[in-house]
Structure 1
Amino acid sequence: MLTADLLHASLGDPLLDVMNFLNEIAIRYPDAISFAPGRPNEKFYDPQQIATYLDAYQRYLREQRGFDDARITSLLFQYGRTNGHIGELLARMLEKDEGIRVAPESIVVTVGCQEATFITLRALFSKPTDVLLVGMPCYIGVTGAARLLDIEVAPVPERADGLDLDALEARVRELRSQGKQPRALYLVADFANPSGRSLPAPARHRLLELAAREQFLIIEDNPYGFFSREGPRKPTLKALDDRQQVIYLGSFSKSAFPGLRLGYAVADQRVTDAAGQHHLLAGEFSKIKSLLTVNTSALSQAVVGGMLVLNEGGLLEANQEAIRFYKTNMDATLQALERHFPKSEAWARDVTWNVPDGGFFLVMKLPIEADEALLEESARNFHVLWTPMRYFYLGTGGEHELRLSCSYLTPERIEEGVARLARHLQKAILERQPAPQVRAG
């Protein structure tokens, strides 16, 4: 028998139980309308497309790269290059879709963006005094990975318009005064999970200047950047990066499909070794990856490669229908909230929500706690699921907030789901709020 004290301490952290709890709720209530998962909608998927993409990639290898059949067979069926075999196509995609110009050698293809995150943290954080800065609330995949790696995390609050840069600067100086080293900041600048917030363009320039002055790196994660709802797309931090301060993480889970489990890291920073030789940080990432997953599925890479070939090197234009769909869904969610939580009703006056300019998520604030008991009641009695925001905070925070994801549902299901949520919250608010005090006399 093993005792818990013989296992890594992170396994006792409630943070690592969050995903299992949410999955268990979803399994027990399969017929509930779920605003919980940040999943793309399956209307854009056709299994027949996979063969088309594989064929396109093989033609590309044969006609543009000069591969013969034996070499193509080896590439698709054997262990492959640790950094991946679609680096040139990804570099072209980044330039076309995001205005990011990097060499293919600086790109490491990973098993989903989660591996890219893990590798980045493992490479950068070498001392007990190194600290990871994160916007708060934060995606639990990052804080969970840091916990597994025994990396200290320092939260920085978000404002309505994204990360609070004044608070960031103060936190950096506070950590330095304690003898700690703020090593990197993790940030989703566009339509963050879970808050849905985006960093304004002027703040992006200021953040890069702050990182240069205070000497920390920025880990920019950009899974939702295509899905703008209002206004022109903002430049990524990496597109503005002229000092190699930004490590850029990307994923094909939203722009293609999650089953690929394909992501990548752009690590074009220069590393100087003990002999004074220079090489790319991507090479260090490759060492870690070689002992973590060996290499990334050649078939998944070939599918993405075929998609890029068939779409003239980019995926932004190929996602236009999806962009319109997710915009419609966010609009439908916001409109349904306005209808079903009318400010003319006393119970709904203290229920508020943010209005993201894109992405999959928004956050509601309630006058009561949005805890596991409320979620259980919501699932059991009203057949609607959502995510407590407290899961995305370290320590305290988010106790009165919940996250809604509008990506996986149709507008019709969104309307019905918000109606169910309103019925539940009306009942819960009226039951849980203290009765008003009546003054004697």
Structure 2
Amino acid sequence: MPATIPVTEPQALDRTELHGSLNDPLLDAMNFLNEAAGRFPEALSFGAGRPTEGSFEPEQLAGHLRSFTDHLEQERGWSRDRIRTALYQYGRTNGIIHDLIARTLVNDEGIEVPPEAVVVTTGAQEAMLVTLRALFARPEDTLLVSSPCYVGITGAARLLDIAVQPVPEGALGPDPEAVLAAVRTVRAAGGRPRALYLVPDFANPSGASMTVEARRGLLELAEQEDLLILEDNPYGFFVRDGSARPTLKSLDRGRRVLYFGSFAKTALPGARVGYVVADQEVTGPQGDRTLLADELSKIKSMTTVNTSAISQAVIGGMLVESGFRLREANAEAIAFYRASMDALLAELERHFPAERRAELGLDWNRPEGGFFLVVTVPFTADGKALERSARDHGVLWTAMSDFCIDGGGRNQIRLSCSTLTPDQIVEGVARLAGFIEQEAG
């Protein structure tokens, strides 16, 4: 008979022996917001940054799939067997809709790159992760980020043990002079400033946007200082007034810019399809040349292997149906977000006219588009304040300090208007005003 295995107590793992990123307070802060939303389900939330579900219907998914398979059959001349294999099996690591994305980028953003420069990823988050892993090879390599900053990029850098240097963000986004100061700070400390991450249009969390002049100045600086730019553009379509500004990538002549894109806000968040445009050349020791996209593909092959073919097919169908012009296809969503931001600004102004703002020391920015704005409040906006806001006033928001790696944002809150109807915004701001008045008192 086999020997009896002695019964012992289950072994507990020591958190100090797990990766240090798991002790990052930011992870707890994001979990706390989700937990608060669960405990106070009646609270109206200005915290979520997800898109509206608009006119989504489950039945539409089959139609998008059909549009894509029709495209494969009629435009590419694929047989039924080849289409079946493409949808049911593991696929090309770089993706099967890279050419459709390239066509759409030309129409929507004026970005002209070969399809082979596009790597289709599992959301933009994977695009960030594989890009950071490829570019940051030395211990001294440092990532510059505009601060406040989207937590996805700083979280990815933390997972990969990449040093991060904040660049203070002004009302119009990161200023080239501030970027240059950060570059010099890193070099003075013995580091190598490798790349700058930023969202030039309606940034998350601040809502700030760069001027065209600042974009050109940043590209010149990147050339002078041998700096790469990681441009993330999830909100560029959603302009409140005026015309869209050119992306950094469309202005890029020196191939300094890697461009992150996602269909979460402009098509279908549940598909989890993003991409990175990496058209930079990479030279090998024997003089061989490849695209950076091919190098990123090697890393992706060791993470997710390939992005879901079914998800790509759904997005591909939507691109085909739009005539590869997503900006036009998003006209209804653009109008919704414009009305939502206008309503949010109008209600803040109604509850806090200039005289009352001055009395309270209260203010907010007025973004030209996107989902977010920032309110400066006369109290500490932390987890305890959020708890009181949800429990006593039925309204949720996000603390800006969660996005600031340089210790700022302690008396600021981020408001998102992307998921609320105009009526909900009216009620939500009324609740928020009650909370702010109580805290200020």
Pairing partner for 1:226 from 237, 243, 250:
237
Cα separation, 1, equivalents of 2:353 and 2:323: 47
RMSD: 1.0
Pairing partner for 1:245 from 238, 256, 263:
256
Aligned residue in 1 for 2:350: 339
Pairing partner for 1:9 from 2, 20, 31:
20
Cα separation, 1, equivalents of 2:356 and 2:71: 61
Cα separation, 2, equivalents of 1:348 and 1:35: 24
1:183 positional shift: 0.2
Cα separation, 2, equivalents of 1:269 and 1:110: 18
Pairing partner for 2:180 from 152, 169, 173:
169
Cα separation, 1, equivalents of 2:363 and 2:322: 41
Pairing partner for 1:38 from 39, 46, 49:
49
- Is the contact between residue 51 and residue 419 of structure 2 (CA under 8 Å) also seen in structure 1? yes
Task: For residue 42 of structure 1, give the secondary structure of its aligned residue in structure 2.
Answer: coil
User: TM-score, structure 2 length as denominator?
Assistant: 0.96
Task: For residue 158 of structure 1, give the secondary structure of its aligned residue in structure 2.
Answer: strand
- Is the contact between residue 366 and residue 401 of structure 1 (CA under 8 Å) also seen in structure 2? yes
Q: Deviations over 1:296-347 (max 9, x none)?
A: 0101110111111111112110000110110000000000000112333378
**Residue 29 (structure 1) aligned with residue 40 (structure 2):** yes
Task: For residue 330 of structure 2, give the secondary structure of its aligned residue in structure 1.
Answer: helix
**Residue 181 (structure 1) aligned with residue 192 (structure 2):** yes
Tell me which amino acid in the other structure corresponds to 1:207. Answer: L
Aligned residue in 2 for 1:49: 60
- Is the contact between residue 360 and residue 440 of structure 2 (CA under 8 Å) also seen in structure 1? no
Cα separation, 1, equivalents of 2:203 and 2:58: 30
Cα separation, 2, equivalents of 1:299 and 1:37: 27
Which stretches of structure 1, 4 residues or longer, exceed 3 Å deviation after superposition? 343-349
Task: For residue 134 of structure 1, give the secondary structure of its aligned residue in structure 2.
Answer: strand
Aligned residue in 1 for 2:8: none
Percent of paired sites with the same residue: 57
**What is the number of residues matched between the two proteins?**
430
Tell me which amino acid in the other structure corresponds to 2:251. Answer: L
Aligned residue in 2 for 1:418: 429
- Once the two structures are superposed, the pairs formed by residues 224-303 of structure 1 within 5 Å of their partners are 224-303=235-314
Q: Deviations over 1:55-114 (max 9, x none)?
A: 011110001111111111110111101000011101000000000000000000000000
- C-alpha change, 1:223 and 1:366, in structure 2 (3 Å) is same
Cα separation, 2, equivalents of 1:167 and 1:91: 33
Task: For residue 299 of structure 2, give the secondary structure of its aligned residue in structure 1.
Answer: helix
- Is the contact between residue 353 and residue 364 of structure 1 (CA under 8 Å) also seen in structure 2? yes
Cα separation, 1, equivalents of 2:422 and 2:397: 16
- Is the contact between residue 117 and residue 279 of structure 2 (CA under 8 Å) also seen in structure 1? yes
Task: For residue 409 of structure 2, give the secondary structure of its aligned residue in structure 1.
Answer: coil
- Once the two structures are superposed, the pairs formed by residues 57-68 of structure 1 within 5 Å of their partners are 57-68=68-79
Aligned residue in 2 for 1:194: 205
- Is the contact between residue 382 and residue 424 of structure 1 (CA under 8 Å) also seen in structure 2? yes
Q: Deviations over 1:190-233 (max 9, x none)?
A: 00000000000010000000000000100000000000112110
Cα separation, 2, equivalents of 1:127 and 1:224: 32
- Is the contact between residue 205 and residue 373 of structure 2 (CA under 8 Å) also seen in structure 1? yes
Tell me which amino acid in the other structure corresponds to 1:194. Answer: P
Pairing partner for 1:74 from 67, 80, 85:
85
Aligned residue in 2 for 1:434: none
Tell me which amino acid in the other structure corresponds to 1:376. Answer: E
Aligned residue in 2 for 1:433: none
**Residue 142 (structure 1) aligned with residue 153 (structure 2):** yes
- Is the contact between residue 347 and residue 426 of structure 1 (CA under 8 Å) also seen in structure 2? no
- Once the two structures are superposed, the pairs formed by residues 418-437 of structure 1 within 5 Å of their partners are 418-430=429-441
Cα separation, 1, equivalents of 2:207 and 2:152: 16
- Is the contact between residue 195 and residue 362 of structure 1 (CA under 8 Å) also seen in structure 2? yes
1:44 positional shift: 2.7
- Is the contact between residue 341 and residue 348 of structure 1 (CA under 8 Å) also seen in structure 2? no
1:11 positional shift: 1.1
- Once the two structures are superposed, the pairs formed by residues 362-373 of structure 1 within 5 Å of their partners are 362-373=373-384
Cα separation, 2, equivalents of 1:276 and 1:6: 43
Tell me which amino acid in the other structure corresponds to 1:148. Answer: L
User: Structure 1: which 5+ runs fail to align?
Assistant: 431-441
Pairing partner for 1:18 from 29, 50, 55:
29
